[in-house]
Amino acid sequence: MKVAVYGKGGIGKSTTSCNISIALARRGRKVLQIGCDPKHDSTFTPTGFLIPTIIDTSQTKDYHYEDVWPEDVIYKGYGGVDRVEAGGPPAGAGCGGYVVGETVKPLKESNAFYEYDIISFDVSGDVACGGFAAPLNYADYRIIITDNGFDALFAANRIAASVREKSHTHPLRLAGLVGNRTSERDLIDKYVEACPMPVLEVLPLVEDIRVSRVKGKTLFEMAEYQPNLNYVRDFHLNIADQILSEPEGVVPREIPDRELFSLLSDFYLNLNSTSRGGNEIVCDQQDVPLDFTIIR
């Protein structure tokens, strides 16, 4: 099974991806995680250091990708999960999607790509262009990481659109959303009501999750000496169990940008009015909806 994890930049996608990979390994699966972000820090928490990337390794071989072998680029991390970092071209030059393709090529040619039960692609931010959509050429499922906020859900909707686009030529399905770092899910629920898709889990707002990223440790490793984190670890195990159940998934019908903008902004405006007026919606000058006219 191959899973591609996407989400708005800075949403905690890589941290969540690493913990899901560990959870899948805890369920007895052999897992490979491929970091597809040019800043090459997807695998930092389970390894504790920035591992050499495909770009780094190929540079030592004068960019002859055919001379790059799995043992040159695969590093074992915490929990027995294998890790690869694609890396990326210099800023403003080249295509990150090309690097993803060149990462998969030596793994497939050496059959290493087929030795794993689960391959997880951790993909850069909310970029849904052709280059960074390249992992979807291999994926069975896509998971979107979001929070309960406007920007992240707007990005999630564009990511959902790329699932529909790729599903025309590939057997790709959206496994669902994972809400991250939030104590509320009202806006998430509003979105999935309008654009039906599963919500796999909503992860709590816990400072230790953010700290784990800084420490270079997965949540599972931190829970070994901080038992109070076991309940958060169990959230990730639940996500792993749902993935392993091979869900039917969905091909979402994204919401047009203008409709989504109105849906999310109206929700905030009405929530603000209701909170100040009790059960009665009170409208004063501050509550007059803004004119979100888009100038062409």
Residues of the binding site for [4Fe-4S] cluster: 95, 129
Tokens representing 283 are 């409208």
Binding residues: 10-15, 39, 95, 129, 180-181
Contacts with 130 (C-beta within 8 Å, 6 or more apart), sequence order? 97
Q: Residue 180: name the closest of 206, 153, 202 by CA.
A: 202
| Residues placed in the known binding site for ATP | 10-15, 39, 180-181
- Structure-token pair, residue 174: 């959206």
Laid out side by side, the sheet with 141-146 consists of 75-76, 82-85, 31-36, 118-123, 2-7, 141-146, 173-179, 199-202
Binding site members for Mg(2+): 14
Half-sphere exposure of 184 (CA within 13 A, CB side): 5
Q: Comparing C-alpha atoms, which of 206, 213, 212 is closest to residue 224? A: 212
